[in-house]
């Protein structure tokens, strides 16, 4: 049987439309490059609305922010949960940006009714009951690669969602665990062309979790733009030193704004036409 995720079953690129319901519609896939930005965790109304405004002004077309946080230690900040989702919805109303946030249990699905895209984090990539539940929702899903999972395993997880009737899936390469501890993870950028060969689903890159270092986010984001990613997701925080999670890998809004300009330039240079249509790329 040819799998639903296999490019042979669907030769054209899948384009996943996110939002459009009380916010902008964003199409992911098919050769354009979308940039998703926002903090690791939603921390307050002022924080999330402020970052959303600055991210939108810089050119981000979607807002990220964790409300349910999968933390390695149970004693670390676990997220604002339902209140965090309410604040994301306020930021969406204030800016028109569609929102993406992580789900950790299918029991929380009712809280995600007005969330535009549901993220499955690396730690839940093989939570098969959760994947089956998301297959029944019809909502756009951002499926992150597991910490130590192969591309074929990532695709089988996407297959669980598709088998349930939901083909609105975007894959995310966020770095994998290797023998090298110098960076938080090892960014497997060749996953982008490899996944484009294997599947019709869009592929985005998360250089923040891949490197764990704010100063490495720019070079890896530019590399992702150059290698054909359909999107880039970047953690942006107004005050990284005091962030409740992932401060060391978070860039400031000012750094993000400068990075956006470089991303546009790199993407244009890497285009087939050498940049003649640069304006159409973002
Ligand atoms: C996140 O996006 O904040 C996150 C927890 O990512 P990952 O699941 O890739 O570690
Ligand atoms: Mn994070």
Q: 10-residue block means of pLDDT along the chain (282 residues)?
A: 97 98 94 97 98 98 98 98 98 98 98 98 98 98 98 98 98 98 98 98 98 98 97 98 98 98 95 64 51
**Phi and psi at residue 26, to the nearest 5°:** -125, 130
**How far apart (Å, rounded) are the C-alpha atoms in residues 244 and 39?**
10
With vertex at residue 17, the alpha carbon angle to CA 187 and CA 200, rounded to the nearest 5 degrees, is 55
- Any idea which ligand is nearest the CA of 122? 1
The residue whose CB lies within 8 Å of the most ligand 1 atoms, and thus the one to mutate among 65, 102, 231, 250, is 102
Q: Which atom of ligand 1 is nearest to the CA of 119?
A: 2
Around ion ligand 2, residues with a beta carbon closer than 5 Å are: 40, 246
Q: Which atom of ligand 1 is nearest to the CA of 123?
A: 8
**DSSP structural state of residue 108:** G
Burial 141-180 (b: 16+ CB within 10 A, else e): bbbbbbeebebeebbbbbbbbbebebbbbbbbbbbbeeee
Residue list, ligand 1 pocket, CB within 6 Å: 40, 66, 70, 121-123, 144, 174, 209
Q: What is the pTM of this model?
A: 0.96
**Per-residue model confidence (pLDDT) at position 97:** 98
Q: Are 257 and 57 in contact (CB under 8 A)?
A: yes
- What do you get for the CA distance between the two ends of the chain, in Å? 37
Backbone angle region of 82, left / alpha / beta, with phi > 0 → left and psi within -120 to 50 → alpha? alpha
DSSP class of residue 6? Answer: B
Name the closest-CA residue to atom 6, ligand 1: 121
* Span from the CA of 5 to the centroid of ligand 1 (angstroms): 23
Domains and CATH numbers, the chain: 16-268 (3.20.20.70)
List phi, psi (to 5°) of 81: 55, -130
Q: How far apart are CA 213 and CA 216, in angstroms?
A: 5
Nearest-atom number in ligand 1 for the CA of 66 is 3
Other C-beta atoms closer than 10 Å to the C-beta of 15 total 15
Angle at 107 between CA 102 and CA 110, to 5 degrees: 75
**Residue where the block lists tokens 């090298």:** 180
The pLDDT value given to residue 272: 78
The protein residue whose alpha carbon is closest to atom 9 in ligand 1 is 122
What is the CA(119)–ligand 2 centre distance, in A?
12
């Amino acid at each position: 049987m040819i799998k639903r995720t296999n490019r042979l079953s669907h030769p054209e690129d899948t384009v996943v439309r996110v939002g459009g319901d009380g916010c902008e519609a964003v199409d992911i896939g098919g050769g354009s490059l979308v940039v998703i930005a926002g903090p690791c965790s939603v921390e307050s109304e002022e924080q999330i609305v402020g970052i959303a405004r600055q991210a939108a002004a810089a050119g981000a077309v979607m807002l990220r922010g964790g409300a349910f946080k999968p933390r390695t230690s149970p004693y670390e900040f676990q997220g604002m949960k339902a209140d965090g989702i309410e604040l994301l919805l306020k930021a969406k109303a204030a800016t028109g940006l569609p929102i993406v946030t992580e789900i950790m249990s299918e029991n929380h699905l009712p809280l995600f009714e007005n969330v535009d895209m549901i993220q499955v984090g690396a730690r839940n990539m093989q939570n098969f009951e959760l994947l089956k539940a998301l297959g029944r929702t019809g909502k756009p899903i951002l499926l992150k690669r597991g910490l130590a999972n192969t591309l074929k395993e990532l695709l089988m997880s996407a297959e669980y969602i598709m088998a349930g009737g939901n083909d609105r899936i975007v894959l995310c390469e966020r770095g994998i665990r290797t023998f090298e501890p110098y960076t938080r993870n090892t960014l497997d950028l060749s996953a982008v062309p490899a996944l484009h060969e294997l599947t019709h689903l869009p592929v985005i890159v998360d250089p923040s979790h891949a490197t764990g270092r704010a100063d490495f986010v720019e070079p890896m984001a530019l590399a992702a733009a150059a290698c054909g990613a359909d999107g880039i997701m970047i953690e942006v925080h107004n005050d990284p030193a005091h962030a409740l999670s992932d401060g060391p890998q978070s860039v400031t809004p000012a750094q993000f704004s400068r990075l956006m300009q470089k991303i546009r330039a790199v993407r244009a240079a890497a285009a087939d036409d050498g940049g003649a249509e640069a304006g159409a790329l973002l």
